[in-house]
Amino acid sequence: FAGLSLYFEDGHDDLDDFGFDDYGSECDGIRITAFLDAGQDNLTPLGRLEKYAFSENVFNRQIVARGLLDVLREFSDNENDFISVMETVARMSEDGEPTVRAELMEQVPNIAMFLHESRPNFPAAFSRYLVPIVVRYLTDPNNQVRKTSQAALLVLLEQGLISKADMETKVCPVLLDLTEPSSDDDYKIEAVAIMCKVVTMLSKDTVEHLLLPRFCDLCSDARLFQVRKVCAANFGEFCSIVGQEATEKLLMPKFFDLCSDSLWGIRKACAECFMMVSNSTSPEVRRVKLSPLFISLISDQSRWVRQAAFQSLGRFISTFANPSSTGLHFREDGALLEVPRCTSDSDCSLNSLNCSEISPHYTERTITHTPPNQDGRATPSPEYALTADSEEMHNFDDSHTSVTGETHRGFSRPILNSNVSPTTTNNAKNTTETEQTDENFNSFHYWRSPLPDIMKDTEEKQEEEPDDNCPDAKSSPGKSTSDQIQKVLDCLQPHMDDPDVQAQVQVLSAALKAAQLDSPSDNSPTETQPVVQPESDADIGIDLDRHGSYRAPIFLFDYLSVSPLTMCLQNVIPQQLLDQYLSMTDPARAQTVDTEIAKHCAFSLPGVALTLGRQNWHCLKDTYETLATDVQWKVRRTLAFSIHELAVILGDQLTAADLVPIFNGFLKDLDEVRIGVLKHLYDFLKLLHADKRREYLYQLQEFMVTDNSRNWRFRYELAEQLILIIELYSHYDVYDYLRQIALTLCSDKVSEVRWISYKLVVEILQKLYTCGADDLGVNFINELTVRFCHCPKWVGRQAFAFICQAVVEEDCMPMEQFSQHLLPSLLSLSSDPVANVRVLVAKALRQSVMEKGKPHCAYSDELEETVMALQSDKDRDVRFFASLDPNKGLMDTAPLI
């Protein structure tokens, strides 16, 4: 139809003659600007455009609207003609037929891009003619036209085709008018939706000064719940744009109202965007205000709200991540980076930092650049985060006795003031009121003296053998506590090889120091030091037993043989959040909240582990093991896909102790689970010690067996991972174990698996020759020659040619070695009866061997004769590749394979 001239007339009879009724929506295949061609009307092209653009026939006008981009191209050489076309478009935009207006608006993004590319010639055409059309159509009475205009506006913003001035002076005023309280309900709801979508494409200043006040008003719209729901669903976007100050000052009150809205759908939307809101607040607001608010959502009366809250719980917890504590943080591109140890108290603040709020003084250092361990690995040191946290805890303790309690709803946190001297502190404490003071309460929130539940034997011994040189325990709680903690530390010393114990000793050492600082000196009064009590037991994030005593951490019972009352010692996040997260593995939650709640728990576990830090891994260990044995394979699959990330977070010692057994279980699981560990097999193995890593050489063969033999992608993934894994093992191990797997994969029934396996073979050869194992390399080459070059099937012989070319291009071996051991066999395939084999032989010889091997090749004469013979081959593809200049672009030979 390219040369078909179409003449548009006003009468339907003429249209029928040309068969337009049969074209329908397929008119795009016709040159729809043919009406501009000279006809019997003696009109100029502009005159014909005018005639058909305002024809009485609707179909004529639709065709003109659909072909506007081509029309503009026709007249783009002459500025006056171009302006005339744009004025015609402006008049067409007022067409009374909605389908014409919709067709015109669909072309606006394409026209805008054309004008953008031609901006030097038509600098203001888009702003002058098209933007007003887009804005006017936002208030069009026809729903289809409005929707088309909204979609076009979003595309224009995404492409950056609307200027800031046009947005502020033309688009935003219309959106503000449509969201006025007196506006029509339908228009208002649509305008709110489009306003929330465009906000992410506007500058902070534009949003804050033009749209934010109106958005705050819309969040409180008492008449239209649809408006509040749209605001709730997009609340996080507004917070992320306007930043922390505006979020906390203007948006937080509105968010609290939306979270308590009477409609569950609005509360659910709030739960879904909670992470984005949290990312836009300070650590203090996140801990003190947002945490209790989230707890209210997670215990909402609506199951749908609870479900959304639990799905967002892990992501919300991850916003508490503090790189100065964990020693790690995720960069925007997903890379896990190590940050240096904090150098000051301000750096080691207890206030958690969002990963996106890392201060500039942190020097990023990727894991791959860390000093290698004894076995040559480059993995983060597990002691690093522990040391950083230990320093943080000591900074906390050194200043804790000079604290005035700052009690908040949902959390009690001390205000650090390391500038106050101990003498000043004691004097201040002596003048403080003593009402509501528990003499057994220690200012280090995790301990209370005495600890009768776990130190029963010690107490009985103290009663039998009192120490006359020490004050009574009741009058000296700090001394009693420090003695008891010291005894526990003594019990833990024989177990210091356990990474968990190392982390626990860090916490206990800090507790011991706090207890010693709280002990009254000889010159100080002996009365109990007053402290500020929290509003409730739950506020301090510590579990209490029914008698009001603090529960001791579970690890103490492991070494004192006393029945445990479980509690996780951690000061990173409010304890209630952690308790709710740990409860996600409770079967009752699946019945009352979400049948897939365990999967959501598994999905967010690496983020929670990163937030808590490896020193608090004991809080998550049992939960992780429960998830790893979940009856739902989707839960285990989720963990399998992320176990390598968790290994980076935990470090090599905890990985070896707690993750390796689970990893081994995944290796024997269903294919749906095994693929998770297989896809990141290299990432996990490189984190292990050399001896532990070597154990998996015997298990790699098991990946060749799958539940479904047709699952060829599983074997393809194995080949890709083996290419990476080669660097982790010695050349002897590669030859003894990986070589056999590679040769088996090279004989796979699926061609994709075979061709990726040929690349694996090349990598193995390179490994052998790089390590100086030439004898092993020659043995492998002989094996390849027998298996492929002399293969009765042509695909094997073709593979040999491919391998030879790859060996040369990757410089896997010296050319002398190649000429001696591979080239003769390659030359012998030049007379292969199958053309597809000769094609790759010609390609390998002409494009690779002759370019790199000719000057040093003992077979140079035979090589040239072979190439000349291939240049005269009866197959044209063989002739082409034998004659092709290597410096030119290479044709893809995939269709020939």
Tokens of 883: 């004659």
Q: How confident is the model at residue 36 (pLDDT cuts 50, 70, 90)?
A: low
Q: How confident is the model at residue 337 (pLDDT cuts 50, 70, 90)?
A: low
The average pLDDT across 635-653 equals 94
Three-state secondary structure call for residue 365: strand
pLDDT 10s digits, 823-844: 999 999 999 999 999 999 999 9
pLDDT of residue 364: 35
Q: Are 738 and 764 in contact (CB under 8 A)?
A: yes
Q: How confident is the model at residue 887 (pLDDT cuts 50, 70, 90)?
A: low
Report d(CA 65, CA 85) in Å as an integer.
Answer: 12
pLDDT of residue 513: 62
pLDDT of residue 771: 93
What's the total number of domains in the chain?
1
| Greatest mean pLDDT range, 219-233, 465-479, 633-647, 702-716 | 633-647
pLDDT higher at 167 or 31 = 167
pLDDT higher at 648 or 409 = 648
pLDDT of residue 857: 61
Asked whether the predicted pLDDT for residue 751 surpasses 50, the reply is: yes
Asked whether the predicted pLDDT for residue 670 surpasses 70, the reply is: yes
Report d(CA 818, CA 813) in Å as an integer.
Answer: 7
pLDDT of residue 8: 36
250 located within any domain? no
Q: How confident is the model at residue 271 (pLDDT cuts 50, 70, 90)?
A: very high
Asked whether the predicted pLDDT for residue 617 surpasses 90, the reply is: yes
Give exposure, 772-808, as e/b (b: 16+ Cβ within 10 Å).
ebeebbbebbeebbebbbebeeeebbbbbbbbbbbbb
Reference 597, options 580, 574, 612, 610; nearest CA is: 580
Sign of CA pseudo-dihedral 418, 421, 427, 430: positive
Report d(CA 842, CA 832) in Å as an integer.
Answer: 11
pLDDT of residue 235: 93
What is the percentage of the chain residues whose pLDDT exceeds 90? Answer: 39
- Starting at the edge strand that comes first in sequence, how are the strands of the sheet with 365-366 ordered? 328-330, 336-338, 365-366
pLDDT 10s digits, 567-597: 566 889 999 999 999 999 999 998 889 899 9
Q: How confident is the model at residue 789 (pLDDT cuts 50, 70, 90)?
A: very high
pLDDT 10s digits, 353-404: 333 333 333 333 333 333 333 333 333 333 333 333 333 333 333 333 333 3
Report d(CA 860, CA 730) in Å as an integer.
Answer: 35
| CB count in 10 Å sphere of residue 834 | 14
Cβ-in-10-Å burial (0-12, 13-18, 19+) of 837 comes to buried
Q: How confident is the model at residue 886 (pLDDT cuts 50, 70, 90)?
A: low
Which letter does DSSP use for residue 879 in this model? H
Q: How confident is the model at residue 460 (pLDDT cuts 50, 70, 90)?
A: very low
Asked whether the predicted pLDDT for residue 332 surpasses 50, the reply is: yes
Q: Are 318 and 607 in contact (CB under 8 A)?
A: yes
Q: How confident is the model at residue 888 (pLDDT cuts 50, 70, 90)?
A: low
824 located within any domain? yes
307 located within any domain? no
Report d(CA 588, CA 599) in Å as an integer.
Answer: 15
39 located within any domain? no
| CB count in 10 Å sphere of residue 604 | 24
Tokens of 505: 């000793």
Cβ-in-10-Å burial (0-12, 13-18, 19+) of 170 comes to middle
pLDDT of residue 893: 54
pLDDT of residue 426: 40
Asked whether the predicted pLDDT for residue 90 surpasses 60, the reply is: yes
Reference 203, options 231, 235, 164; nearest CA is: 164
pLDDT of residue 507: 63
Asked whether the predicted pLDDT for residue 7 surpasses 90, the reply is: no
Query: In CATH, what number is assigned to the domain containing residue 850?
Result: 1.25.10.10
| Range in 159-168, 486-495, 497-506, 682-691 with the lowest mean pLDDT | 497-506
Report d(CA 93, CA 87) in Å as an integer.
Answer: 10
Three-state secondary structure call for residue 408: strand
Report d(CA 512, CA 529) in Å as an integer.
Answer: 18
Asked whether the predicted pLDDT for residue 171 surpasses 50, the reply is: yes
832 located within any domain? yes
Q: How confident is the model at residue 336 (pLDDT cuts 50, 70, 90)?
A: low
The average pLDDT across 511-537 equals 44
**Mean pLDDT rounded to a whole number for the chain:** 75
Report d(CA 471, CA 653) in Å as an integer.
Answer: 43
Asked whether the predicted pLDDT for residue 125 surpasses 70, the reply is: yes
Sign of CA pseudo-dihedral 533, 534, 536, 542: negative
Tokens of 241: 């744009």
Asked whether the predicted pLDDT for residue 848 surpasses 70, the reply is: yes
pLDDT of residue 511: 61
pLDDT of residue 338: 64
368 located within any domain? no
Tell me which amino acid residue 432 is: T
The average pLDDT across 599-603 equals 95
Q: In the chain, count of helices (H) and strands (E)?
A: 51, 5
pLDDT of residue 80: 83
Asked whether the predicted pLDDT for residue 420 surpasses 60, the reply is: no
What is the percentage of the chain residues whose pLDDT exceeds 70? Answer: 67
The average pLDDT across 875-890 equals 77
pLDDT of residue 330: 60
Q: What domain range is 787 assigned to?
A: 773-896
Cβ-in-10-Å burial (0-12, 13-18, 19+) of 225 comes to middle
Report d(CA 366, CA 267) in Å as an integer.
Answer: 40
704 located within any domain? no
Reference 407, options 532, 246, 545, 255; nearest CA is: 532
782 located within any domain? yes
* Residue 338, strand partner residues: 328, 365
| Range in 70-79, 126-135, 644-653, 785-794 with the lowest mean pLDDT | 70-79
pLDDT higher at 441 or 130 = 130
Q: How confident is the model at residue 530 (pLDDT cuts 50, 70, 90)?
A: very low
Asked whether the predicted pLDDT for residue 424 surpasses 60, the reply is: no
pLDDT of residue 251: 93
| CB count in 10 Å sphere of residue 29 | 9
The average pLDDT across 739-747 equals 93
Asked whether the predicted pLDDT for residue 295 surpasses 90, the reply is: yes
Asked whether the predicted pLDDT for residue 37 surpasses 60, the reply is: no
Tell me which amino acid residue 71 is: V
| Backbone dihedral region for residue 404 (phi beyond 0: left; psi -120 to 50: alpha; all else: beta) | beta
Report d(CA 739, CA 777) in Å as an integer.
Answer: 11
